[in-house]
Amino acid sequence: MMPKIGGFGFSRLFDSIETSNTSEVTGTRVYMPPEYISKRQITPKFDVFSLGIIILQIMAGKESYTKCVDTSSEVFIELVYQFWANRMQGTISKHTSREVRTCIEIALKCVEFSREKRPTIKEIIQKLNKIDIVECSSIHQLYRAKEFSFEFLVNITDKFSKQNIVGRGGYGIIYKGVLKDGEEVAVKKLHQMLWIDDEQFKNELNNLMRVQHKNIVRLVVYCHHASHIFVEYEGKHVSASVVERAICLEYVQGGNLDNQLSAEPCKLDWDKCHKIIKGICEGLHYLHNADTPIYHLDLKPENILLDKDMVAKIGDFGLSRLFDSPQTYMTQSQDIKGTRGYMPPEYINRHAISPKFDVFSLGVIIIQIMAGKEGYFSFPHTPPKEFIKNVRENWRMKVEATMPPHASEEVRTCIEIALKCVEDDRMRRPTIAQIVNELSNIGVAKSSPVSQWANKLNVLKTLLSSTHFKFKYWLFLFVAVISMFFAWAKFCPDSWWQGITRRT
């Protein structure tokens, strides 16, 4: 049932969205707005009015428009809602209820007598897209996620067996499960606690649904299951609502970064460490530069998962928030339960949130990768230059030989980046874009002529994409063309130059 708009016999093309007048266009009177009937005025709101009539007819029958004219909006919405409740045999879900009310509210706005009060089609689409997503069926439609029942998740985790526990993340326990096609998944089942509400759960769900990146843990399944049980309370048996919530994620085989850093001896050589650092930075860059930026707010080694090839993947978005711009936000919320050692001073003191929150956490993680988990606690008492020197020497000792030049340069650059990231003043911390750019330009590209040219090409692409460079480029081009013109005129025959001057 995919609708397709046809019948363009009366359509016209207009150069603007302003009002146009006509004496020729004919159509179907019931779908015509008042301004066209009385003054033959045509704007985009003509179609919006017609759309409103169509939605009313879909929602409440073909005679609905005449009913809504003689009835208040509130009463009409309630009548349509009851009509759909009866049609669905009295069982209308909370989500469907929101859909019905939203659609009828949109329709009534579309058929406003004054066209200025009607919404634009863009506003209508935005409102439809903002209908809360709390049911599995709607998630399948809107986010293309696979839809599974809670019972299915119980089966693939062997009834959430203790033997299948692979970790404990924010707000819940993570279990290993196996799908029918053999794909291993991680099922994060949330604790049954009062402070976990639907809004927190939807926050994590919506964040995970939106991200698609090699350095971000991928969402496989979402499930929200409500049931009722009888429990004894003050000597009586009462009905209680039980809500089971679970998020099913891709299973990352290498465990988390914290396990690797805590292992004795640590099995991470420098190439793996460098790969992990770059992966975390690229994943964070993706989050911060999305259409609507995502701040993680709980970045730490436990939330950095590693696959079998040591590719870092950022996970556990239980505390992340969505923001419309990369500015600073103040929050009074007491429910952000991050990890204090990874929180920046401005959040601890003033609850200020900005992209530099995650940058600070990133700096702490890089220092722990570079200098060990204990190394982070020693650097505040050591001058930066001495700390960098000590870290480089430690890595030389680890490889039991002189590191090649490119590796030594990588170590120095990474620790310099980390020290900038943990500056107390957030204005002195780099952005994640600056960090990714700096990591891309370090000496590793000097290992071969091919990689040299590849690096130069990347730098050139970055340069060409900047607005500042574009302005300088066009200014230079303009000056060059003018200079060439006068140089040409100077050496051309006098008769030619005189002809030009006569015309001017």
Q: Return binding residues for ATP.
A: 189
Active-site pick, 197, 298, 335, 358: 298
Q: Which residue has the tokens 């950022």?
A: 314
Q: Both tokens of residue 494?
A: 């006098």
- Do 256 and 304 contact (CB within 8 A), yes or no? yes
Residues in the annotated binding site: 189
Which helix (H) or strand (E) is 395 found in, with range?
Answer: helix 384-398
CB–CB of 228/235 below 8 Å?
Answer: no
State the DSSP code for 218: P
| Other beta carbons within 10 Å of 274 | 22
Beta strands of 203-359 (E only): which ranges? 219-233, 236-250, 294-295, 304-306, 312-314, 321-322, 329-330, 352-353
Q: Is residue 153 within 8 Å of residue 188, measured between CB atoms?
A: no
Q: Write the secondary structure of 280-320 as one string of H (helix), E (strand) and C (coil).
A: HHHHHHHHHCCCCCEECCCCCHHHEEECCCCCEEECCCCCC
CA pair distance 152, 370, nearest whole angstrom: 42
d(CA 270, CA 499) in angstroms, rounded, equals 72
Query: Is 132 noted as a catalytic residue in this protein?
Result: no
The CA distances from residue 376 to 72, 261, 382, 397, 430, in Å, are 66, 13, 11, 19, 19
Report CA Rg, the chain.
31
d(CA 419, CA 391): 12
How far is the C-alpha of 3 from the C-alpha of 58, rounded, in Å?
13
Residues taking part in catalysis: 298
